[in-house]
Amino acid sequence: MIMSRIEAPRDEPTGNLLDRLLAGLPAEAVLVDPDVMASYAHDMASFCPAGVPAVVVLPRTVEQVQHVLRTATELRVPVVPQGARTGLSGAANASDGCVVLSLVRMDRILEVDPVDRIAVVEPGVVNAVLSRAVGEHGLYYPPDPSSWETCTIGGNIGTASGGLCCVKYGVTAEYVIGLDVVLADGRLMTTGRRTAKGVAGYDLTRLFVGSEGSLGVVVRAVLALKPRPPRQLVLAAEFPSAAAACDAVCRIMAGGHVPSLLELMDRTTVQAVDEHTRMDLPQTTEALLLAAFDTPDPAADLAALGALCEAAGATSVVPAEDAAESELLLQARRCALVALEAVKGTTMIDDVCVPRSRLGEMIVGVERIAEKHALTIGVVAHAGDGNTHPTVCFDAQDPEECRRARESFDEIMALGLELGGTITGEHGVGVLKKEWLAREIGPVGLEMQRAVKQVFDPLGILNPGKLF
């Protein structure tokens, strides 16, 4: 089917592109069937336009990626790099006439070194697959987005992803210590190091983390690992209000505690999860706080944290007794976004990070916005680092409801900035938040970012229309 499509009549520019790509790629790596290409046209974000690609390519080697970029540069064709398309900002959306460069077939774990505590991987390696592989060596790769069973390391790097364990272990940027990157003209550049320390020159590795494929294509990553911690135990605390739960978060952080996880779900989210999973979660709570420790004595740490929750007004504090019970509680949090999507069929997921001290104001403000627009908006949050995910539930077939959903999204973004926050803690900018990035960083910051883009991609072919 692929070859019949390629040999079919077409206009000269597209035909020339396909001929040039096939000169350096196997036929099975070049997809032009319209229905197949449509499935590669967008990620999971709502309200983000996507174009029609000219071709989808799935390389398996660095040399094949270089060939694609050289061809695109010579023909002045835009290239949109993609991972598993689990993103939530439209950063992987195709543009008209582009080459979609899907890296999912570059999925090898090249090395795991227990002495240097590093893993060397290709971009298509799935996060959970890496985590399990390094676990066999007694090691731990901490960043764990909710989509960890499907999202790829390359996508995590592109959007600077976080996860449930950020409060203790940090985000993707803190674990990427070296990269191989194919630049827009096809040249291969190596950044960073394999060593525990290294400060030679500008930190170009960090520059690529979070760049959403706009500066180059990551084809290999050196990732820092940690020793595998003890199995964590989880505590669940119910609160009569979101404000009380946020007060508990402030007490925990001010008290110097370092939980491995500190997650919050508001009443709307708890009810949606219970409806979706039938887990018999508490229906009377206004907020549910999940906390965990992976210390040598997690029970003692949970007892201290539980006391702080009670002091903040918790109506119930229940520590898990074992790993199985802990995993059940975490599963409730991991399926929160899926459960909210089931409420109306479509969601628009915000990603606003505010100072921890203002987390309560953020959640109360979202409640007011939901009431104003007569919408269901559930809030899940990585409470330990102030990263909230207000999730707007709406019927995509109802134009009026879509309008209100979009307006509520923008009001939530504005509220986050008013509280001293940022428009994204881990999902990236993509198409969805271009206007808001400009508001956050200002005209001088925007000018400097565009100047950096110009250095790495002077023709503007890499993921055009994203970020700014």
- State the helix-helix crossing angle for 12-22 and 62-75, rounded to 10 degrees: 150
Cα–Cα distances (Å) from 429 to 387, 423, 438, in that order, read 15, 8, 10
Helical segments of 56-123, H only:
62-75
Structural domains of the chain, with CATH: 2-102 (3.30.43.10), 109-227 (3.30.465.10), 233-418 (3.40.462.10)
Using alpha carbons only, how large is the chain's radius of gyration in Å? 23
Helix (H) or strand (E) holding 35, with range, is: helix 34-39
The reported pLDDT for the residue numbered 283 is 81
pLDDT value, residue 394: 96
Q: Which amino acid is at 408?
A: S
Task: Decide if 394 contacts 348 (C-beta within 8 A).
Answer: yes
Separation of alpha carbons 159 and 156, rounded Å? 5
Q: pLDDT tens across 51-83, in order?
A: 999 999 999 999 999 999 999 999 999 999 999
DSSP element (H, E) containing 401: helix 399-418
pLDDT at 284: 86
Q: Please report the pLDDT score of residue 13 as a whole number.
A: 56
Q: Could you give the maximum distance between any two Cα atoms of the chain, in Å? A: 73
Q: What is the pTM of this model?
A: 0.93
For tokens 């060939």, name the residue.
67
What pLDDT, on a 0 to 100 scale, did the predictor assign at position 279?
87
> For residue range 198-250, what is the model confidence (pLDDT) as tens digits?
999 999 999 999 999 999 999 999 999 999 999 999 999 999 999 999 999 99
Rounded distance, CA 77 to CA 15, Å?
Answer: 13
In this structure, what is the dihedral angle of CA atoms 351, 86, 272, 288, given to the nearest 10 degrees? -50
- Exposure b/e, 24-51, CB count within 10 A at least 16 = b: ebeeebbbbeeeebeebbbbbbbebebb
Alpha helices (runs of H) in 170-226, residue ranges in sequence order: 204-208
Q: State whether residue 122 is helix, strand or coil.
A: coil
* Under-70 pLDDT residues of the chain: 1-14
Helix (H, G, I), strand (E, B) or coil at 215: coil
Look at residues 399, 354, 402 and name the one whose alpha carbon lies nearest to residue 379.
354
Q: Please, which residues have CB within 8 angstroms of residue 374's CB and are 6 or more apart in sequence? A: 404
- The pLDDT value recorded for residue 178 is 98
Contact assessment for residue 53 and residue 80, using Cβ atoms and an 8 Å cutoff: yes
Q: What pLDDT, on a 0 to 100 scale, did the predictor assign at position 415?
A: 98
